[in-house]
Amino acid sequence: MRAVPPSVVSRIAPGSRVDTPFVRLAQDVAALTGWSRYGLAFVLGVVAAAAMPPVDMAPLLVVAFSGLLWLDEGSATAGASFRVGWMFGFGFFVAGLYWIAAALFVDISRFWWLVPLAAAGLPALFAIYVGLVVLGVRLLVGRFGLAPPARVFLFAVLWTVAEWVRGHALTGLPWNLIGYAWAGGFPGGLAMLQSTAVVGIYGLSFLTVLAAALPALLGTPRQGPMRALRRWAPALAAALVILGPAMLGAIRLATTPTRLTETRLRLVQPSIPQSLKWVPGAADSNFHRLIELSAPPAHRRLNAILWPEAASPYFLGRDQAARMAVAATAPSGGYVITGALRANPPPDPMAAFWNSIEAVNSHGQIVARYDKAHLVPFGEYVPFRGLLPVDKITAGTVDLSAGPGPRTISLPGLPPFAPTICYEAIFPGAVVDERHRPAWILNVTNDAWYGRTSSPYQHFAIARTRAVEEGLPLIRVANNGISGVIDPLGRVVARTDLDAIGYVDSPLPAPVAPTPYAEFGDATLLLLLLVGAVPVAWRW
């Protein structure tokens, strides 16, 4: 029989009998050694990733996080704690970010050598965050003698801090934050997602991790009076952490119906394969597909036709013929708002380029423009270009230039909107100019790079969360899906399927009053983390 780790034995009174399945399971997990131990950590990370869209199995987080804490009970050294956390994080990010490697297959003959780096290198790097979380828990628990409940709260606080840092450091990649487990299709998830209107997605991650980790205390032996009640208290506490916010969210959904405005929009989804996107011989056919999908008459007058990211294969500011072809599809008195690559204006030769959104009116004039501010490393520019001997994986050899950041575009006959391009929508608190609050958010994207992977589903769920955080409807226009109209509480009013070719006509939902998160940003997160740290300080 394997020996029970000292960290577990120390909590068992002499002569007591370990008589619950959870306690026995916790001891067996903690007693694992070698590759069985680290292999299980990896598998638990993969299980945690299955909570995200499109699998949407949020309850699996209980298995993942409780298992992780039980595994760390058997860590004999600080290094062992870090390794367990790192292996968990590696499994989580391999399963959650594998789609990044899919983008390389568009031009696999040039970028085959990058596939291992994308599929395993990035997850290995991001796994360091999880390793540091588990290490930090071990060191602080040992230093201050924290009891098991305080350890769980500390774990939830440090995990959330690590997610926040991951979302900001080195340009940030806040993808698959644990709170997004509620943004997909899990039943009742939308009610829980309403919490982001107050504490943002990072705050929802804290609540989710706390609820998923509290059942780990079921593996702690209990003695003394009221033993049965104390045994099940962690499960009851976890249920309250979820049911409390979810009930408030359900009330918010029930008392705030979707209100539709008179503004009507057409979302065009051409589903042009990325392999044909920038082929010179396919430019005309790609352009004509956009024109044809925009041309059918609408049942009611449209205010704007929306095209996805980089939809136009031509530089509209320099190509009058292409611009007039776009203008011919614009509604009378309305606009075609399209993603487009933009070059510096003529007559100077093209030297600088931007990933932009341009609004073209029915007279062929570009009446508004937004330049993407948060560029994708190695996709739109190469960091440390003078040191790294690599090219962008996208077309062209010149790095794109960055725009100034969030802004509000106001056009006659159209409610003011906040433009965002592609993964700019994944950055909480960075999509709206709150000083000039818009009435809706426009997100144009491509997503053709990733095929039928989990990425388009996750990207849609992430953008959906921005609507709830800000209290603003969000219109998402994708090249090959998923496009949709989302109201300010995250309800999907209309959408297209992945890879579908077509268009959707829909009224624009009305916004709601600015949310606490829109007003105060991550200050609400800080307050929540301070409250979460109270049990830690109390037990200390």
Task: Give the dihedral of Cα atoms 463, 240, 232, 206; nearest 10 deg.
Answer: 40
Show Cβ contacts of residue 46 under 8 Å, excluding neighbours closer than 6 positions: 91, 92, 94, 95
Q: In residues, how long is the chain? A: 540
Nearest alpha carbon to residue 264 among 414, 365, 409, 441: 414
Nearest alpha carbon to residue 192 among 490, 458, 429, 485: 490
- CB contact at 8 A, 91 and 49: yes
Q: Strand 304-306's sheet: what is its strand order?
A: 366-371, 353-361, 335-343, 304-306, 260-269, 502-509
Please give the structure tokens belonging to residue 253: 């959904």
Type of residue found at 97: L
- CB contact at 8 A, 26 and 70: yes
DSSP state letter for 374: S
Nearest alpha carbon to residue 327 among 358, 281, 352: 358
CA distances from 239 to 59, 62, 177, 523 (A): 11, 11, 21, 26
Exactly one of 277, 372, 424, 469 is catalytic; name it: 372
Rg (CA), the chain: 25
Backbone region of residue 436 per phi and psi (left: phi > 0; alpha: psi in -120 to 50; beta: other values): beta
Sign for the pseudo-dihedral over CA of 423, 429, 433, 438 = positive
470 is catalytic: no
Distance between CA 337 and CA 276 in Å, rounded?
Answer: 22
Exactly one of 422, 424, 469, 470 is catalytic; name it: 422
277 is catalytic: no
Cβ neighbourhood burial of 36 (10 Å; 0-12, 13-18, 19+): exposed
3-state SS of 161-218 is HHHHHHCCHHHCCCCCCHHHHHCCCCCCHHHHHCCHHHHHHHHHHHHHHHHHHHHHHH
Distance between CA 326 and CA 332 in Å, rounded?
Answer: 13
In this structure, the strands spanning 492-495 and 484-486 are antiparallel
Task: Give the dihedral of Cα atoms 418, 420, 425, 428; nearest 10 deg.
Answer: -50
372 is catalytic: yes
- Is the preceding omega at residue 54 within 30 degrees of 0, hence cis? yes
Catalytic residues: 309, 372, 422
